[in-house]
Amino acid sequence: MSELMRKIERLWGMPIFFMRNKQDKPESFGSFPDEGSPFVYAPFLVEMLTEKCESQKLPVIYKDENQAYFICVGTQKGFWLVGLMCTENMDYARIHRLYRHYYIPASEEKPPMKVSLLRILTFAGFLYELEGGESVEESELLAINSLVTEEDARTEKEDTILEMRKVDDEVYHHTYQEERYVMDCIREGNEEAVWQRMGAVIESAGILSNKTINHYRYLAIVSVSMATREAIAGGVSPARAYRKSDIYINKIDKCAEVEELVEYCRIAGCEFARMVAEAKSEKNASSYTEQCKDYIYKNYHHKIHLEDVARAIGISQGHLSRVFREDTGMSIQDYIQKFRVERAANLLKYSEASLSEISDYVCFYSQSHFGSVFKRYMQMTPKEYRDKYKEKEFRSENIK
Q: Give the pLDDT confidence score for residue 170 in this predicted structure.
A: 46
Percentage of residues in the chain having pLDDT higher than 90:
18
41 vs 302: CA distance, rounded Å: 75
Name the most confidently modeled range: 27-36, 39-48, 213-222: 39-48
What predicted TM-score, i.e. pTM, was given to this entire model?
0.41
Q: Does the pLDDT at position 319 exceed 80?
A: yes
| Backbone angle region of 146, left / alpha / beta, with phi > 0 → left and psi within -120 to 50 → alpha | left
Q: Give the pLDDT confidence score for residue 207 in this predicted structure.
A: 66
> Higher pLDDT residue, 321 or 158?
321
Confidence label for 70 from pLDDT (cuts 50, 70 and 90) = very high
Pairing state of beta strands 79-86 and 68-74?
Answer: antiparallel
Name the most confidently modeled range: 286-295, 354-363, 387-396: 354-363
Considering only the C-alpha atoms of the chain, give the largest distance between any 2 of them, rounded to a whole number of Å: 102
Mean pLDDT of 66-78: 90
70 vs 149: CA distance, rounded Å: 18
Question: 17 in helix, strand or coil?
Answer: strand
Q: Does the pLDDT at position 398 exceed 70?
A: no
Please enumerate in sequence order all residues whose Cβ is within 8 A of that of 73, keeping only pairs 6 or more positions apart, or say none.
Answer: 53, 59, 60, 79, 80, 82, 124, 127, 128, 131
351 vs 369: CA distance, rounded Å: 21
Q: Give the pLDDT confidence score for residue 338 in this predicted structure.
A: 92
Q: Does the pLDDT at position 174 exceed 60?
A: no
> Distances in Å between the alpha carbon of 393 and those of 19, 216, 346, 396?
77, 18, 14, 9
Q: Does the pLDDT at position 72 exceed 90?
A: yes
> Higher pLDDT residue, 390 or 17?
17
Q: Give the pLDDT confidence score for residue 166 in this predicted structure.
A: 46
Q: Give the pLDDT confidence score for residue 81 in this predicted structure.
A: 93
Mean pLDDT of 230-256: 83
Q: Give the pLDDT confidence score for residue 281 in this predicted structure.
A: 67
Residue among 391, 314, 311 nearest 345 (CA): 391
> Higher pLDDT residue, 134 or 391?
134
> Higher pLDDT residue, 119 or 9?
119
> Distances in Å between the alpha carbon of 345 and those of 78, 261, 290, 298?
87, 23, 23, 18
> Higher pLDDT residue, 333 or 173?
333
Q: 16 - beta bridge partners?
A: 82
- The residue type of 177 is Q
Q: Which of 29-33, 225-229, 353-357, 386-390 has the lowest mean pLDDT?
A: 29-33
